[in-house]
Amino acid sequence: MEDEKTRFLAAMAVANRFAKNYEQGIKAFVRLNTVQSEIFRGTTLGDYLALLDDKVSEAVSLNGDAGWLSSRSEFTEEEFLESLIRRDRSGKRYPTLAQVPSFLLEAFEEQHDAASFRVLAGELREACWSAYSGMTEIREQMDDEPTGADLLASMEAWPGEVHESEQTIKETLALSENLHKGWLRCQAAGLALLCMANQFGDDDPDQDLAIELMG
């Protein structure tokens, strides 16, 4: 049993690292969005950031439904086991209580028979894969959402269309570029969060591999 628990706790540590990394990304986005939303208030660019903020909140909720984020600062053993059951897509890893680690059986005392456990596991798996579908949907929504970036392009072109001093044109261009860069950083930080926590920061995410490593 000790080897079983050791492996389980090692996998839980991986899950906690995924979650903490994702939560750091959330904090970074919130900091950026607080500033950029104020700068672009009343514009299409600001509306886009407001929508992106809503979608990030949705993504956080979906991560919870998929078992990638804990409701606490870290996963408990029972919560982590539940997350593994959620992501047991085929139901083959945890088909019955017999596959539940012996040191966690007490957590499932209300599902003391096979039928009760199957119902619970089925509900958890359904919530998980609904969350994955939901994540795909919000990414597609943001891919199709007008950003309002044409406004920034117009601002960058403006100095060449007016008769101003060289210094004024230089500073206007610098201001426009800084505004654009700040908005793009915020956009990138938000879009990066529209994924499951195990995929965050991964240029080539392989969710199946991550799940296998944590099983």
Confidence (pTM): 0.85
The per-residue pLDDT for range 2-31, each reduced to its tens digit, is 688 888 898 899 999 999 999 999 999 999
pLDDT above 90 as % of the chain: 53
- pLDDT value at residue 2: 62
Who wins on pLDDT, 176 or 200? 200
Measured distance CA(179)–CA(170) in Å, rounded: 14
CA nearest neighbour of 142 among 63, 60, 64, 48: 48
Q: What angle do CA 40, 45, 51 make, to 5 degrees?
A: 105
Specify the higher pLDDT residue, 32 or 203.
32
Digit-coded pLDDT (tens) for 96-112: 888 888 888 777 766 56
Could you tell me which residue, 97 or 69, shows the higher pLDDT? 69
